[in-house]
Amino acid sequence: MDKLLIRGGQRLNGEVPISGAKNAALPELCAALLSAEPLTLTNVPRLQDVSTTLKLLRNMGVAAEPGATEDALVLDASRVTLTEAPYELVKTMRASILVLGPLLARFGRARVSLPGGCAIGSRPVDQHIKGLQAMGAEIRVEHGYIVAEASRLQGARITTDMVTVTGTENLLMAACLAEGETVLENAAQEPEVSDLAEMLIAMGARIEGHGTRRITVQGVESLHGASHHIVPDRIEAGTFLCAVAATGGDVVLRRANAAHLTTVIEKLREAGIDIESGDDWIRVRGSGRPKAVSFRTSEYPSFPTDMQAQFMALNCIAEGSSRVTETIFENRFMHVNELTRLGAQIEVDGHTAIVHGVERLSGATVMATDLRASASLVIGGLVADGETLVDRIYHLDRGYDRMESKLRAIGAQIERVGRAP
């Protein structure tokens, strides 16, 4: 079981290359199922979740080969032999549900294991199912599997009960090959949804309104191949911004898009952090103790739930107290107990955590519980006195591309210990 050993107290200085967005790469890999022609993706991040998705697609008969550059992949779904996502694979990654829409749209059938819940919540997929049924799919759930059939999906007007990122993505992909017009009301506006839409348009889809709450799709007979460069990972970028804000230092993030992080950048400036940005870079300078800043998570473009744990780690060593309110997931405070082991003072009351900033954290052994919680513990370890050992960092490897080597390159004392996976 891999662990990260961190010796805290180092300021961070230098440059960090930001990788392609995990939450764009996963739907875009699944979208390869929509066409019989090759899809080339570049800026593909090296993540466990990407490897899992490729295993899932190869299991169906999709060919996935390295492209011309190290970060490129070429996918070929011209010989799909199985329209099924088995439990063994889906249980390790909920985003496997993203094959449901494409399989139904192109092949008219799909058998996808119900994704279990996960650490941060029950995470149902009822909106995915409801939307596909509105498009004419016959769907039943049996033996833990979603079994879906549709001779040809029909366009429909669909209003999801809440904003759902992968729900929007599944329905968007299905609508591309449905007959007629589909209108998705209450659509997710996350940049990763827009990036998927741009890729689908490059494949011949007819989509308007992505990036707003209403997306309109005119279905087409088929989609052709395309090449697509994956949007930078705004959550990886935000994670590094919080790390430098906490440790102090001067770092430039390369290939980062500040326009996708406006609320996080606003809150960091409120904390007294100096941030400048250009078209594809963000410079962050931290000096002295940050000020405590309250925030509440909500759908894009509001403060992202995926940045809640990382910003809370910053608040732990800030001057003053702050209120952190999580409105998206019902159980996304598991990092609180572990941050407390580092000496943080946090009280949880339902969906709100009150963080009382302390001067110093002290290193300890802590355990990662989910992807973004592990990132917050790494930030805690970077600022704690002495050594911090973060256990179960397979959570981190799911969604961060070579985090410890990127941190070492800007001065952190951090190394991976324990048996290789």
Question: What residues make contact with ligand EPZ under the rule CB under 6 A?
Answer: 22-23, 26, 95, 121, 123-128, 162, 164-167, 305-306, 328-329, 371-372, 399
- Looking at beta carbons only, is 162 or 259 nearer to ligand EPZ? 162
> 126: closest CA among 96, 150, 175, 162?
162
Could you tell me the smallest distance in angstroms from the CB atom of residue 167 to ligand EPZ? Answer: 5
- Report how far residue 404's alpha carbon sits from residue 115's, in angstroms, rounded to the nearest whole number: 30
Structure tokens that stand for 98 in this block: 């993203």
- Looking at beta carbons only, is 125 or 275 nearer to ligand EPZ? 125
- Looking at beta carbons only, is 252 or 328 nearer to ligand EPZ? 328
- Report how far residue 213's alpha carbon sits from residue 185's, in angstroms, rounded to the nearest whole number: 6
- Looking at beta carbons only, is 121 or 180 nearer to ligand EPZ? 121
Could you tell me the smallest distance in angstroms from the CB atom of residue 180 to ligand EPZ? Answer: 24
Phi-psi region of 318 (alpha: psi -120 to 50; beta: other; left: phi over 0): beta
Could you tell me the smallest distance in angstroms from the CB atom of residue 192 to ligand EPZ? Answer: 6
Query: Is the distance from CB of 315 to CB of 324 less than 8 angstroms?
Result: yes
- Looking at beta carbons only, is 326 or 404 nearer to ligand EPZ? 326
Could you tell me the smallest distance in angstroms from the CB atom of residue 335 to ligand EPZ? Answer: 12
The helix (run of H) or strand (run of E) holding residue 6 is: strand 3-7
- Looking at beta carbons only, is 3 or 395 nearer to ligand EPZ? 395
Kindly report whether the peptide bond that precedes residue 421 is cis, defined as omega within 30 degrees of 0. no
Half-sphere exposure of 421 (CA within 13 A, CB side): 11
Structure tokens that stand for 313 in this block: 């780690």
Could you tell me the smallest distance in angstroms from the CB atom of residue 27 to ligand EPZ? Answer: 7
Could you tell me the smallest distance in angstroms from the CB atom of residue 28 to ligand EPZ? Answer: 11
Could you tell me the smallest distance in angstroms from the CB atom of residue 44 to ligand EPZ? Answer: 15
- Report how far residue 335's alpha carbon sits from residue 332's, in angstroms, rounded to the nearest whole number: 8
- Report how far residue 7's alpha carbon sits from residue 413's, in angstroms, rounded to the nearest whole number: 5
Q: Write down the catalytic residue from 118, 176, 242, 316.
A: 118
Other C-beta atoms closer than 10 Å to the C-beta of 279 total: 8
Helix (H, G, I), strand (E, B), or coil: what is residue 350? coil
- Report how far residue 326's alpha carbon sits from residue 295's, in angstroms, rounded to the nearest whole number: 9
- Report how far residue 220's alpha carbon sits from residue 235's, in angstroms, rounded to the nearest whole number: 33
- Looking at beta carbons only, is 10 or 194 nearer to ligand EPZ? 194
- Looking at beta carbons only, is 127 or 376 nearer to ligand EPZ? 127
Query: Is the distance from CB of 377 to CB of 366 less than 8 angstroms?
Result: yes
Could you tell me the smallest distance in angstroms from the CB atom of residue 132 to ligand EPZ? Answer: 11
Q: Would residue 30 show up in a list of annotated catalytic residues for this protein?
A: no
Read out DSSP for 201-244? Answer: HHTT-EEE-TTSS-EEEE--S-B--EEEEPPB-HHHHHHHHHHH
Helix spans in 108-152 (H):
126-134
> 114: closest CA among 145, 86, 80, 142?
145
Residues belonging to the active site: 118
